[in-house]
Amino acid sequence: MSGLFNCARGLSDRLGDGEWAITRRDLLKASGLVLAQLSLAAPLVSAGQPDHKTILKFGIVTDAHYADAGHRGARYYRESAAKLAECAKLMNEKKADFLVELGDFKDQAQPPAEQSTIAYLRAIEEVFKKFQGRRYHVLGNHDVDSISKGQFLANVVNTKIPRESKYYCFDLKGLHFVVLDANYRADGADYDSGNFNWTDANVPKVELDWLERDLAATSAPVIAFVHQQLDGKGSHYVKNAGDVRKILQKHRKVLAVFQGHNHAGHYSYIEGIHYYTLKAMVEGHGEQNSSYAVVDVLDNHDIAVTGYRKAVGKKLGRA
């Protein structure tokens, strides 16, 4: 069981390795009122409940797909470095407790080459380091398009997490955070150096068992991160997403799941859990065509997502 990291009960040990809707509490399940997306210069949107205070603030970004390469279609790979630098600057200004990227951090050369893709990874990690707080990575399919998971993890840093951990957890300010890895083939093998079909994303049994133990052992509210989507069926979704959701729902502690992979973005509310899919950073030319968000968790455990550039802001209230 390599690559695991357990932090249940606050103890860290290695185990061997359209538009979207903003919802009021009474309209949550019906997906309420539409919230316009925010520009870079927009101030933080309050959760609509001024009597509640933020207990933790973090940043999210996804699908930077950085490569020192020209654009292909709507994907402007090289521009993601400047876009991510802008994101890091704002997160520093907002004093975010941490910044997490939700996968597909880098891309690859054409034709694919191990040496160049590692160079792209190291370059975009240096930009990510401009954020001065805790930093975390979620594995995405493009992160292993021409290198292995081990090579990816050897060239990035997840704050206070062992290097080899593919999925892991951490605790901060009374909240429990879980980072999942769905980059496994149906036969349970790791995605490795392009040896995968991106539509065949799975969370293997060993990881499901780890998740079950981890959620059973914590009494804190939980927020989860994953690259591929868990809230439906289709090419962008984890094939055994239903099995993952059953575990998340069973423990009645999970507030929200933040996802990437679907560049257009998405939102679902299923059995008391919010599934927020952030729009991709790589899509579109120019600084205005970026996407990242600040997430405020309030003392009543409502969540306010403030979107910047093309990202969508939402109030994620409790039913």
Give the model confidence (pLDDT) of 217-227 as tens digits. Answer: 999 999 999 99
pTM for this prediction? 0.87
Contact (CB, 8 A) for 31 and 17? no
Question: What average pLDDT is seen over the chain?
Answer: 87
Q: Which of 10-24, 44-58, 97-111 shows the lowest mean pLDDT across its residues?
A: 10-24
Written as one letter, the residue type at 233 is K
**CA 312 – CA 155 distance, rounded (Å):** 31
CATH value at residue 105: 3.60.21.10
Peptide bond into 111 cis (omega under 30): yes
Q: Quote the number of domains for the chain.
A: 1
Contact (CB, 8 A) for 274 and 256? yes
Can you give the pLDDT at residue 110?
Answer: 86
> For residue 102, is pLDDT > 80?
yes
**What is the distance between the terminal CA atoms of the chain, rounded to a whole angstrom?**
37
> For residue 22, is pLDDT > 50?
no
225 SS3 class: strand
Residue with tokens 């690559």: 3
Among residues 159, 167, 12, 39, the alpha carbon closest in space to that of 103 is found at 167
Q: What are the tens digits of pLDDT across the range 188-210?
A: 999 999 999 999 999 999 999 99
Among residues 160, 172, 104, 106, the alpha carbon closest in space to that of 136 is found at 160
Query: Any idea what DSSP says for residue 245?
Result: H
Q: What are the tens digits of pLDDT across the range 265-286?
A: 999 999 999 999 999 999 999 9
Q: Of all residues in the chain, what percent carry a pLDDT higher than 70?
A: 84
Q: What are the tens digits of pLDDT across the range 127-184?
A: 999 999 999 999 999 999 999 999 999 999 999 999 999 999 999 999 999 999 999 9
Query: CB atoms < 10 A from the CB of 185, how many?
Result: 17
Give the domain extent around 98. Answer: 5-316
Can you give the pLDDT at residue 82?
Answer: 98
Can you give the pLDDT at residue 32?
Answer: 24
Can you give the pLDDT at residue 51?
Answer: 80
**CA 304 – CA 178 distance, rounded (Å):** 19
Can you give the pLDDT at residue 319?
Answer: 63
